[in-house]
Amino acid sequence: MEASTPFVSLRGILSKIGLKNSKWYIFNGLVMLATFFIFRVAMFPYVVNIFAQTIEVDFFTAITRLPRNCILSICLLLFPQMYWFCLMVKGATEILFIKEKSRIGNNNNLKKKSH
């Protein structure tokens, strides 16, 4: 689950040294988002799927066959990861699309003023 930690840390470092608007910051953010999803969100369904294959049942039956404390542990670990992932997607969307639109709008305004 710690595979995304270096990218989370690098994001903070890039922000502190004033590179928040750089391509490195955006690239690191996208890698952070991907690794966070793979190793902190998708890992849980993947492990349940392996369990399902091991006991030769479908995915949903495997969930019902898990011990109650295991289901509780998965929920306690997965829900905060989902929350943070949603925040990260929201932040990435703002950086990639909203700031891009405002940058395009500012460029159009500059072109209008120069005429």
Q: Which two tokens stand for residue 28?
A: 């690191």
Distance of CA 99 to the CA centre of its chain: 19
> What integer pLDDT is reported at residue 1 of this predicted model?
72
Half-sphere exposure of 23 (CA within 13 A, CB side): 0
Domain boundaries, the chain: 2-86
Predicted local distance difference test score (pLDDT) of residue 80? 95
Is the pLDDT assigned to residue 103 strictly greater than 90? no
Please report the pLDDT score of residue 7 as a whole number: 94
What is the C-alpha separation between 84 and 35, in angstroms, rounded?
Answer: 13
Write the pLDDT tens digit of every residue in 49-97: 999 999 999 999 999 999 999 999 999 999 999 999 999 999 889 888 8
pTM, two decimals, is: 0.76
Residue 12 has pLDDT above 80, yes or no: yes
Cα dihedral 23, 28, 29, 35, rounded to 10, equals 150
102, 107, 112, 113 alpha-carbon torsion, rounded to 10°: 100
